[in-house]
């Protein structure tokens, strides 16, 4: 086995010479690890464990050194002399740990004094204008601020970065800035807005009793001045509005044919405020009729209703056309002896049409809706929906599309990304490469950074596609040509691409590979997400956050309760670092238990 590891390393020697000097030792160890894992080592592990030797199960960071120690003990046990050539060993247990720490500091900056794992936070749009929000994040323990260049504008990115630097200076602690270039994100195109409709819904308790009526403002058609206290507004005829008085009741028949009424409770210059105590749906055909007789007119049409978001309702067995253009002419198919139009939505990157094949899977909206490509036409892909809830699913505009089985030839950097890179080079400490799939993608990014005068800017590879996972060794070797590099396990898209049932296995394999390459890992996607969004964590996500101790950085996404999520994560990471170092359990004294008295006396 030892000979095979060295032979594989020697076969890569010309390639290893082109890597950054600080990563060549790590690349040698990574080569040993890859060769070690090419065969099933479980029978050998059982044999070694039986005689009390290392079973190589924690050898990722120092493969050859661990192997040599086992060989040395085996030779002593059998009375045979053996002295390993130590110059063959790239790293040992201690030196490998220091290498990982050095690489991590170069990319992510030094860790805070209290914990070894950094905390990264995705900034919201508000961070561009709200310095106080950014200052609070820095105070709560943010070590790295992430700016997602798939959203907002270049001016907003610059404002976010300026606020981060200002807050870091005020708090006297270093905070680095990661900027993700958007990459070729495949999404659903725009859908026509639905019919205008306004839902009036009172707040009820668990027994259905009204706690608070819905308050709707009635104002003249086309007016924009809000009515005090209104949660929604409707336009009505100005002459009819002028006749309304405090206490008036207004009758209507809503979109479902349900009889409903409104009660006027306030009148002001902008219009009137009316209460609704039963759910009602107002549409363009709805008419409001004043119950009190008298001056004319007694009724009015409604206007200025909000248009519903464009949605497609899809059920298992339905056919969907994924089209090249948003104005795709409808195709009709017979359904229950009637000709009905086939649901259609455009995709943002129609160039993928040449890369897909019939029979390949396709997922929409983070895996909520799944299908299989049944046909490929010039202007559309015919998709049969195979995965949806029994009641069906709604597909909206700007939802992600994943093609895990397809060999897509999309570049990792789009034209927009290359333009954005100029801002990234000015403002960021490290750049995230989204949807990386091949070594050439990294080479393109490095070339762009070199042309912008930032060849040493840290690079983070976002592992979020099945192809990236399958090509991980190639990607890591390519990243080692950079002075500072790391990977992000983007578990959202990765789960859709590889299958939710495989996610635990896939993320483990990525962690092992990164440890063998002494490359820092960012643990990302949905960490404490329920807590950040609602203020209350789920039990499962607390345990998931504890797994972040095995990475060098944990990323939190934005949310109204992000400061609380950061404090919780900080507490979890501090506790867990006494119990776990990568995948090695640490035997810290357990103070939660005391031995029963009868056992102590024995």
Per residue in 140-165, pLDDT tens?
Answer: 999 999 999 999 999 999 999 999 99
pLDDT at residue 364 tops 70: yes
At 86, is the pLDDT very low, low, confident or very high (cuts 50, 70, 90)? confident
Rounded to an integer, the average pLDDT of 188-197 is 89
pLDDT at 309: 84
Task: Write down the architecture of domain 311-402 according to CATH.
Answer: Beta Barrel (2.40)
Q: How far is CA 299 from CA 189, 197, 254, 264, 288, in A?
A: 41, 19, 14, 15, 5
Q: Which of 205, 212, 214 is nearest to 280 (CA)?
A: 214
> What's the per-residue H, E or C state across 150-205?
CCCCHHHHHHHHHHHHHHHHHHCCCCEEEEEECCCCCEECCCCCCCEEEEECCEEC
pLDDT 10s digits, 453-492: 999 999 999 999 999 999 999 999 999 999 999 999 999 9
Of 3-7, 330-334, 405-409, least confident by mean pLDDT is 330-334
Rounded to an integer, the average pLDDT of 315-339 is 76
pLDDT at 391: 93
Rounded to an integer, the average pLDDT of 221-241 is 95
pLDDT at residue 598 tops 80: no
What percent of the chain lies above the pLDDT cut of 70? 97
What percent of the chain lies above the pLDDT cut of 90? 86
Rounded to an integer, the average pLDDT of 66-74 is 95
Q: With b meaning 16 or more CB within 10 Å and e meaning fewer, what string describes 545-563?
A: bbbbbbbbbbbbbbbebbb
pLDDT at 594: 79
pLDDT at 220: 95
Task: Write down the architecture of domain 197-301 according to CATH.
Answer: Beta Barrel (2.40)
Rounded to an integer, the average pLDDT of 188-203 is 91
Rounded to an integer, the average pLDDT of 165-175 is 96
More confident site: 425 or 588: 425
Q: Give the DSSP per-residue string, 250-293.
A: EEEE-TTS-EEEEEEEEEETTEEEEEE-S-EEEETT-EEEESS-
Residue identified by tokens 């030797």 is 53
pLDDT at 339: 65
Rounded to an integer, the average pLDDT of 250-256 is 95
Q: Which of 448, 552, 562 is nearest to 118 (CA)?
A: 552
pLDDT 10s digits, 288-307: 999 988 767 899 999 999 98
310: tokens are: 């464009």
pLDDT at 418: 92
pLDDT at 295: 65
Rounded to an integer, the average pLDDT of 327-355 is 78
Q: Is-cis flag, bond preceding 297, omega within 30? A: yes
568: tokens are: 């919780």
pLDDT at 219: 96
Rounded to an integer, the average pLDDT of 199-216 is 94
Task: List, in order, residues 6 or more apart from 109 with CB less than 8 Å away.
Answer: 118, 143, 144, 174, 176, 429
At 334, is the pLDDT very low, low, confident or very high (cuts 50, 70, 90)? low
pLDDT at residue 376 tops 70: yes
pLDDT at 193: 85
Please give the Cα distance from 41 to 35 (Å, whole number).
Answer: 11
Rounded to an integer, the average pLDDT of 248-271 is 95
Of 31-45, 174-188, 582-596, least confident by mean pLDDT is 582-596
365: tokens are: 């909206």
Q: With b meaning 16 or more CB within 10 Å and e meaning fewer, what string describes 499-514?
A: eeeebeebbeebbbbb
At 336, is the pLDDT very low, low, confident or very high (cuts 50, 70, 90)? low
**Do 311-402 and 197-301 have the same topology in CATH?**
yes
Quote the mean pLDDT of the chain: 93
pLDDT at residue 408 tops 80: yes
CATH T-level assignment (fold) for domain 100-181+428-457+486-496+517-585: TIM Barrel (3.20.20)
At 337, is the pLDDT very low, low, confident or very high (cuts 50, 70, 90)? low
User: For 595, left (φ over 0), alpha (ψ -120 to 50), or beta?
Assistant: beta
Rounded to an integer, the average pLDDT of 433-447 is 94
Domain boundaries, the chain: 2-91, 100-181+428-457+486-496+517-585, 197-301, 311-402
- Is residue 367 within 8 Å of 495, Cβ to Cβ? yes
pLDDT at 293: 83
Task: List, in order, residues 6 or more apart from 203 with CB less than 8 Å away.
Answer: 210, 211, 212, 214
pLDDT at 335: 59
């Amino acid at each position: 086995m030892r000979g095979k590891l060295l032979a594989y390393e020697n076969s890569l020697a010309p390639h290893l010479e082109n890597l950054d000097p600080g990563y060549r030792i790590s690349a040698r160890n990574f080569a040993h690890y890859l060769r070690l894992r090419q065969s099933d080592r479980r029978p050998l592990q059982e044999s070694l464990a039986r005689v009390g030797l290392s079973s190589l199960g924690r050898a990722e960071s120092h493969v050859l050194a661990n192997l040599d120690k086992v060989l040395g003990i085996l030779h002593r046990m059998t009375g045979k002399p053996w002295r390993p050539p130590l110059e063959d060993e790239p790293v040992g247990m201690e030196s490998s740990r220091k290498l990982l720490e050095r690489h991590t500091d170069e990319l992510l900056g030094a860790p805070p004094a209290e914990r070894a794992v950094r905390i990264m936070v995705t900034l919201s749009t508000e961070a561009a204008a709200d310095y106080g929000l950014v200052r609070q994040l820095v105070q709560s323990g943010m070590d790295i601020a992430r700016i997602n260049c798939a959203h907002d504008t270049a001016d907003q990115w610059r404002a976010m970065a300026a606020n981060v630097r200002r807050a870091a200076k005020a708090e006297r602690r270093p905070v680095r800035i990661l900027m993700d270039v958007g990459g070729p994100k495949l999404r659903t195109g725009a859908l026509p807005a639905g019919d205008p409709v306004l839902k009036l819904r009172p707040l009820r308790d668990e027994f259905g009793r009204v706690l608070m009526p819905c308050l709707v403002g009635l104002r003249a058609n086309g007016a924009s001045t809000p009515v005090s206290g209104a949660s929604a507004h409707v336009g009505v005829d100005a002459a009819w509005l002028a006749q309304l008085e405090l206490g008036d009741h207004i009758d209507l028949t809503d979109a479902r044919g349900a009889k409903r009424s409104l009660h006027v409770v306030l009148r002001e210059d902008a219009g009137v405020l009316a209460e609704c105590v039963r759910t009602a749906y107002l549409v363009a055909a709805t008419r409001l009729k004043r119950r009190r007789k008298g001056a004319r007119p007694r009724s009015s049409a409604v206007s200025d209703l909000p248009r519903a978001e464009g949605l497609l309702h899809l059920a298992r067995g339905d056919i969907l056309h994924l089209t090249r253009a948003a104005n795709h002419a409808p195709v009709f198919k017979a359904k229950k002896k009637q000709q009905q139009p086939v649901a259609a939505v455009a995709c943002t990157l129609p160039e993928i049409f040449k890369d897909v094949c019939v029979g390949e899977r396709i997922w929409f909206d983070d895996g909520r809706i799944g299908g299989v490509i049944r046909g490929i036409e010039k202007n559309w892909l015919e998709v049969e929906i195979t995965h949806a809830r029994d009641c069906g699913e709604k597909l909206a505009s700007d939802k992600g599309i994943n093609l895990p089985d397809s060999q897509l030839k999309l570049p990792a950097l789009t034209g927009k990304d290359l333009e954005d890179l100029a801002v990234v080079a000015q403002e960021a400490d490290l750049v995230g490469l989204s949807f990386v799939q091949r070594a050439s993608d990294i080479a393109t990014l490095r070339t762009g950074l070199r042309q912008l005068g930032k060849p040493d800017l840290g690079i983070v590879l976002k592992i979020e596609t099945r192809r990236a996972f399958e090509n991980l060794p190639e990607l890591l070797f390519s990243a080692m040509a950079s002075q500072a590099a790391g990977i992000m396990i983007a578990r959202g898209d990765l789960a859709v691409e590889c299958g939710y049932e495989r996610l635990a296995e896939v993320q483990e394999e990525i962690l092992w590979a990164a440890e063998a390459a002494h490359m820092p890992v960012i643990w990302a996607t949905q960490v404490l997400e329920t807590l950040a969004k609602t203020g209350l964590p789920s039990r499962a996500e607390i345990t998931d956050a504890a797994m972040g101790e095995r990475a060098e950085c944990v990323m939190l996404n934005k949310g109204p309760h992000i400061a609380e999520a950061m404090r919780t994560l900080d507490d979890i990471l501090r506790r867990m670092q006494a119990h776990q170092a990568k995948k090695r359990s640490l035997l810290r004294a357990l103070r939660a238990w005391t031995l029963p008295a009868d056992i102590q006396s024995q």
